[in-house]
Amino acid sequence: MTPRILFVDDEPAILMGLQNLLHKDRKRWTMTFLPSGDAAEAMLDTEHFEVVVTDMRMPGLDGGGLLTLLQRDHPATARIMLSGHADSDAIMRSLHVVHQLLSKPCAATVLRDAIERGTVLARLGPLAAAVGGLDTLPTPPEILEALSSVLAAPTTATLVDVVERDPALSAKALQLVNFHYFGSGAVVCSIADAVAQLGPDRIRHIASCATKLADPTALVEHQAAAYLRARAERRATVREGRDLAFTTALLRDLGRLVLLATGADAGGISHAEIGATLLELWGLPRAIVDRVRAG
């Protein structure tokens, strides 16, 4: 089945530019272009799209509102925001509903990669809605308390020491730092580099959105085991590969964490595939995604 992609922007010139930019992709994707969030909301009542790419600032239903609606009512649809830096305050308020965040202007290669990553969600079948609806993953209370304490007088070293202990916080930090909107274009696989580039305010934002579980027992066990495995992997790896080895080991069982957070049944899909799909959807580097998928 040909993936269906919806583009939403109130500027006709932008929509025309997107059509021209992706002209050669018209045979592999069915693309629809709409001039407002309100028009998109009406179409979504009767039509399904694998991916929605929207501007932020629009009259009526803006991009943040549209992606919030998608997360609630159409969680199996990948959510991509394409926006200018003038919208930075609104962007920060909408980060929790964005799978990927791209900056205008956006190169065709970057936009294609984001859309391709969005289409992988459909591979999970009935599980796609549970995974696509996630905006964050659960973190043990003790880790959040430690991070809150560190954020009172933060240094990069103390922030890294807490964040890299937890798969959920680390995955979210790597998602944000690899956003085209925030990043320099460099691929970041190191949790320490991610924390250093994001800074205390964005780490504080990640912590404020962290999910909490009523019974964190299994979560605490998962976090502790993942961190011990990651440390062992880092010690056993030559210097130039240590960051990637640590990150991959920490996130290797992310699929189990997804199931713990959602209560969903894997339905025969491997934990490795579930975790890798979420990381791919979130735009993490392919070096990490591929290694997590390999298990």
Mean pLDDT of the chain: 95
Query: Would you place residue 43 in the very low, low, confident or very high pLDDT band (cuts 50, 70, 90)?
Result: very high
Residue 86 pLDDT:
61
CB of 132 within 8 A of CB of 76?
Answer: yes
Tell me the mean pLDDT in the region 131-157: 97
Residues 189-196: what's their mean pLDDT? 97
Question: What is the average per-residue pLDDT within 172-198?
Answer: 92
Tell me: the pLDDT tens digits for 14-30? 999 999 999 999 999 99
Q: pLDDT exceeding 70 applies to what percent of the chain?
A: 98
52 Cα distance to chain centroid: 14
Instruction: Give the span between the Cα atoms of 198 and 92, in whole angstroms.
Output: 13
Last residue of a domain, one of 100, 132, 164: 132
Lowest mean pLDDT, pick from 127-141, 186-200, 207-221: 207-221
Query: What does the pLDDT read at residue 92?
Result: 81
Please give the tally of structural domains in the chain.
2
Q: What is the dihedral of CA 30, 33, 37, 39, to 10 degrees?
A: -90
Same domain? For 22 and 59 the reply is yes
> Do 89 and 152 share a domain, yes or no?
no
Distance CA 134, CA 258 (A): 8
Which range (6-10, 124-128, 209-213, 252-256) has the least confidence? 209-213
Would the pLDDT of 91 be above 90? Answer: no
DSSP assignment of 247-262 equals: HHHHHTTHHHHHHHHH
Same-domain pairing of 119 and 174: no
CB contact burial 56-81 (16+ within 10 A = b; e otherwise): bbbeebbbbbbbbbbbeebbbbbbbb
- CATH (domain of 241): 1.10.3210.10
Strand order in the sheet with 100-103: 30-34, 4-8, 51-54, 78-83, 100-103
- Residue 239's pLDDT band, with cuts at 50, 70 and 90, is confident
291 — pLDDT class (breaks 50, 70, 90): very high
Question: Are 251 and 128 in the same domain?
Answer: no
For residues 149 and 128, state if they share a domain: no
Q: Which of 231, 158, 228 is nearest to 196 (CA)?
A: 158
In this predicted model, what pLDDT tens digit does every residue of 55-90 receive, in sequence order?
999 999 999 999 999 999 999 999 999 988 666 777
Residue pair 55/8 in contact by the 8 Å Cβ criterion: yes
Read off the CATH number of the domain in which 111 is found.
3.40.50.2300
Same domain, 190 and 281: yes
pLDDT at residue 83 in the model: 86
Residues 219 and 278 grouped into a single domain: yes
Q: Quote the pLDDT of residue 224.
A: 96
Check whether residue 110 and residue 153 sit in a common domain: no
pLDDT above 70: residue 281? yes
pTM: 0.95
- Give the confidence band of 120 by pLDDT, cuts at 50, 70, 90: very high
Asked if residue 89 and residue 11 are part of one domain, the reply reads yes
Note the pLDDT of residue 166.
98
Same structural domain, 145 and 84: no
Same-domain pairing of 76 and 175 = no
Q: Which of 78, 107, 132 is the last residue of a domain?
A: 132
Residues 115 and 179 in one domain: no
Q: Final residue of a domain: which of 114, 132, 150?
A: 132
Q: Which domain holds residue 59?
A: 4-132
